[in-house]
Amino acid sequence: MSYMLNPGAQSESNIEVHRYYSGTVLLTAFLALVLQAFLHKYGRWSELVDLPLLVTVYFGLSRRNPVTGMFLGAAVGILQDALSHDNPIGLYGIAKTLVGYLASTIGARIDTQHPVSRLALIFLFFHFHQMVFAITQRVLLNHPEPFFTLRLLLNSVVTAAFGVALFALLDRLRKS
């Protein structure tokens, strides 16, 4: 198994599909949502990291099944909307559905085990998620949600860095 980001170097059939113990995916996603909501009470620093996004990206890249990644993203996003104070249901759901689908699709084509590639992918997925979220806000809610700010850039960097570490921890939950 290569740890390098090497698109096209390996065929899709040669990319390993990781398996997890039963309930691991759901439990991890549930914990991410609970922690995100729980930590939010202790300050805005918790907004620096988007745990549900990290979980969606991780399992999307690992399972490498677009349908599974899509439904996981949809479920995580809808629950995140449900736990938020004033977000209508579906706002995060749409963004994370697309992120889950995209992550699974990319994960099925390239090897994403290397920390650098993971850092880059998390960074890119963060901004893709923000872009979809902003478009949805602008189109449906008429809210001028920004596509890019310095704070969003900081959040994306922190989330990416934290995600590399988190992904290493989650790798231990595989059946191998």
Partner 1 sequence: MIDTAFRQRPVFLLAAVVLVQVLLLAFQIKRDHDVRLIRYWAQAIVMPFERGGTDAVKNTGGFWSNYISLRGARAENARLRAELDQLRLQNRELAAQAGEAQRLSAILNFREAHPEAQMLAAQVISASADPTSHTLVLNRGDHDHVRRNMAVITPDGIVGKIVEVLPTTSQVLLINDKDSGAGALLADTRTHGVIKGSGDPDARLDYVINEEPVHPGELVLTSGEDRIFPKDLLIGTVSMANQGNPFQVIHVKPAARLDRLEDVIILLTPQELKKQDSAGAPGASPNSLGIVQQESEPPKPLVAPATGKPAAPNAAQPAAKAPAAAPPATTPAQPANSAPQN
* Site for partner 1, rule CB under 8 A: 65-68, 70-71, 74, 77-78, 88-91, 93-94, 97-98, 101, 136, 140-142
CB of 131 to partner 1, least distance (A): 14
Min CB(78)–partner 1 separation in Å: 7
Residue 124 token pair:
């890119």
- Least Å distance, CB 60 to partner 1, is 12
